[in-house]
């Protein structure tokens, strides 16, 4: 039977079975697995692809956004133990890094190492500057604010990893809406912090600035989409701000706070009849004192 006549899930199952039947690592993959740093970088690269597919592609094959190979990659990833999953690693090298079209071992190795190098640079948040001008400009020009910017970039990279990567020790890609929304908001806020710092310190020549600009727009739009189209309060126009306004007058900053029921003990409070309550209280106090003194005299007798 032709694979064209098979349903989408069956074709995915057949493809996964084909790769997991008897996986044998190629020479390039063997060399990568001998270097733990390169092996983990490769896993991070695959993780990034899986996270992107899960977050940005509809899992419904009828919409035509996800391919059989994309679904097979997710299935292989979910088998776990990615560093030892030869089927997953070899499948990614051949089908996604396109090493199966390389004409020689050397060409295949160059393709893989180039992708790993780019992944390492992305994880560190820097770009390899080849010219003397590039080497002198971004890093040397930062001066005393370099350390502050480095800290912000580190947080940004962590946020990007939370959004696009999954922990290699976990089962795979998280599809929970709450996890996705929280991570996207974290990425948006950290990207905005880096962007604000760069602009305020006039460091637009930093090599990461173009990526930060794009990430601010992309993560903001994504967070708004996940929130059902709702913007943040400070992003709303004044006429669209539906927060309730307090009817109580604002207390001046210089005036100390007092509860609404508070009244000084010796304060004067005029009565409803125009201010005769002071005289009435004096007469009442006079009769009360006389009554008490009379009771005391009777007890003494």
Q: Which of 61-70, 103-112, 120-129 has the lowest mean pLDDT?
A: 120-129
Q: Which two tokens stand for residue 301?
A: 């007798």
User: For residue range 144-201, what is the model confidence (pLDDT) as tens digits?
Assistant: 445 788 888 888 888 887 776 544 334 444 455 556 778 888 888 888 999 999 888 8
> Any idea where the domains of the chain sit in the sequence?
9-127, 143-235
Residue 251, classified by CB atoms within 10 Å of its CB into exposed (0-12), middle (13-18) or buried (19+), is exposed
Whole-number Cα distances in Å, 159 to 46, 124, 165: 18, 13, 10
Q: What DSSP state is assigned to residue 51?
A: H
Given CA atoms 19, 99, 89, 174 in this order, what sign does their dihedral have? Answer: negative
- pLDDT tens digits along 196-254: 998 888 888 887 888 888 888 888 888 888 777 776 655 556 555 555 555 555 555 55
Ranges assigned E (strand) in the chain: none
pTM of the model: 0.43
Mapped onto helix, strand or coil, the DSSP state of residue 68 is helix
158: which residues sit within 8 A by CB, 6+ positions away? 190
- Number of helices (H) and strands (E) in the chain: give both, helices first: 11, 0
């Amino acid at each position: 039977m032709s694979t064209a006549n098979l349903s989408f899930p069956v074709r995915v199952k057949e493809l996964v079975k084909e790769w997991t039947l008897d996986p044998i690592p190629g020479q390039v993959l063997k060399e990568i697995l001998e270097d733990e740093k390169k092996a983990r970088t490769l896993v991070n690269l695959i993780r990034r692809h899986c996270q992107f597919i899960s977050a940005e592609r509809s899992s419904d094959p009828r919409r035509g956004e996800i391919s059989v190979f994309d679904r097979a990659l997710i299935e292989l990833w979910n088998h776990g133990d990615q560093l030892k999953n030869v089927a997953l690693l070899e499948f990614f090298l051949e089908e996604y890094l396109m090493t199966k079209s390389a004409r020689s071992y050397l060409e295949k190795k160059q393709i893989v190492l180039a992708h790993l190098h780019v992944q390492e640079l992305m994880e560190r948040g820097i770009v390899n500057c080849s010219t003397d001008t590039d080497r002198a400009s971004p890093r040397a020009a930062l001066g005393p604010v370099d350390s502050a910017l480095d800290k912000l970039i580190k947080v940004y990279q962590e946020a990007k990893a939370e959004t696009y990567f999954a922990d290699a020790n976990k089962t795979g890609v998280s599809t929970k809406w709450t996890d996705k929304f929280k991570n996207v908001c974290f990425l948006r806020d950290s990207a905005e912090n880096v962007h604000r710092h760069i602009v305020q310190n006039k460091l637009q020549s930093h090599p990461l600035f173009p990526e930060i600009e794009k990430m601010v727009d992309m993560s903001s739009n994504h967070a708004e989409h996940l929130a059902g189209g709702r913007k943040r309060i400070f992003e709303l126009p004044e006429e669209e701000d539906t927060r309730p306004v307090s009817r109580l007058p604002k207390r001046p900053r210089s005036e100390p706070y007092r509860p609404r029921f508070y009244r000084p003990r010796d304060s004067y409070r005029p009565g409803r009849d125009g201010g005769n309550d002071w005289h009435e209280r004096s007469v009442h106090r006079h009769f009360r004192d006389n009554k008490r003194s009379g009771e005391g005299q009777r007890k003494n007798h």
